[in-house]
Amino acid sequence: MPDKNRLRRAVLTGTGTYLPEKIVTNADMALQVDTSDDWITERTGIKQRHFAAPHETAAFMGAEAGRRALEAAGMAPEQLGAIIVGTSTPDQAFPSTAVHVQAALGATNAYGFDIAAACSGFIFGLSVADAMIRSGQVESVLVIGSEVYSRILNFADRGTCVLFGDGAGAVLLQARDVEKDGAGLLSTHLHSDGRLAEILYVDGAVGQPDKPGHLVMNGREVFRHAVTLLSGAVNEALAANSLTAADIDWLVPHQANKRIIDGVGKKLGLPPERVVVTVDKHANTSAASIPLALAAAVADGRIKPGQIVLLEALGGGLTWGSALLRL
């Protein structure tokens, strides 16, 4: 007889990151673009970003972050069940970034695929991984966000090129039978609204003749929607788990802009000491931003086992969503 008090959950057992070696400060940006450290800092909270060298592709960085997450969990690559990579900047249209990561890791028994949900890619990946684990299909999933936005930035557009950076973050999720109030992913909530596609997009793709594409954004419109939609997704997560903001130990938001992060924190009534912020160091790394921030706060001991962590993201699509987990 199965024990009714125990549940099969996806439990986070390891995190890992990779950041390109090259750091570009706001002062460095001001040498090539008509901008200033003051403007960027005041509007976004960004102080620097990492830009990838040619060999630092989404697959390369994703594999490095994934390797570190496996090592942190003490899992051999051959034991891994699946790999999901959230990316908008894959090495190739196909095969997926995830299978390149698989080969680099030697994860010979895993299957892999990519998720295209822009900056929400990691949350969407977590949600799919959670369903795969809960259904009993796999015992472990490496969920990675890996992005090289420096390759799609239009450096003639100062309104966007100063906002983004490159990097990768990974988490390992493993199936565990836990008590109801034990560790694991508690819920995920996903949304998209394709009617808002034109406020944040890439104006090209491999499917279009001679048009690899650059990122285009109506920053004001994105900002206008961000706090409302993110607060909605966060409240949905709380309601679904019969929790209030007071129960949340840490908010780990998508790192797009300090003003959006502060806006959501304020609406939730969370003090800034319980919000993880890395946008100053990494800028917006799209699907990589949440796992980079989460891993940083786990590594420096801020986020501890047993704590409740709320994740939220919004990106091109628009896509947005939240995930709630207990470490």
- Does residue 35 bind ligand COA (CB under 6 A)? yes
161 flagged as catalytic: no
User: In whole angstroms, how close is the CB of 160 to ligand COA at the nearest point?
Assistant: 7
- Does residue 119 bind ligand COA (CB under 6 A)? yes
- Does residue 158 bind ligand COA (CB under 6 A)? yes
Residue whose C-beta lies closest to ligand COA:
219
Nearer to ligand COA among residue 46 and residue 171 (C-beta): 46
Residue matched to tokens 């940083």? 296
- Find out whether 5 and 28 touch, Cβ atoms under 8 Å: no
Q: Which of 50, 119, 257, 282 is catalytic?
A: 119
* Site track 183-222 with ligand COA (rule: CB under 6 A), x = hit: ----------------------------------x-xx-x
Quick one: which of 86, 121, 169, 315 contacts ligand COA (CB under 6 A)? 315
Please, which of residues 62-101 interact with ligand COA by CB under 6 A? Answer: none
What is the SS3 assignment for 154? Answer: coil
Closest by Cα among 119, 120, 150 to 56: 150
Tell me the β-bridge partners of 25: 48
Query: Which two three-digit tokens encode residue 45?
Result: 């909270």
What is the full DSSP assignment across 253-300? E--S-HHHHHHHHHHHT--GGGB---HHHH-B-GGGHHHHHHHHHHHT
Q: Which range binds ligand COA by CB under 6 A, 37-45, 66-74, 143-151, 179-187? A: 37-45
50 flagged as catalytic: no
Q: Which 8-state DSSP code applies to residue 139? A: S
Using the CB atoms, write b or e for 73-92: b if 16+ within 10 Å. bebebeebbbbbbbbbbbbe
Closest by Cα among 192, 228, 180, 216 to 8: 180
- Does residue 43 bind ligand COA (CB under 6 A)? yes
User: In whole angstroms, how close is the CB of 77 to ligand COA at the nearest point?
Assistant: 32
- Please report, as a single letter, which amino acid is at residue 227: V
Quick one: which of 182, 191, 223, 274 contacts ligand COA (CB under 6 A)? 223
Q: For the purposes of burial, counting CB atoms within 10 Å of the CB of 324, is it exposed (0-12), middle (13-18) or buried (19 or more)?
A: buried
Q: Which range binds ligand COA by CB under 6 A, 20-28, 34-42, 166-174, 191-199? A: 34-42
Backbone angles phi, psi at 108, to 5 degrees: -65, -20
Residues that bind ligand COA (CB under 6 A): 35, 39-40, 43-44, 119, 158-159, 162, 217, 219-220, 222-223, 256-257, 260, 284, 314-315
Catalytic residues: 119, 254, 284
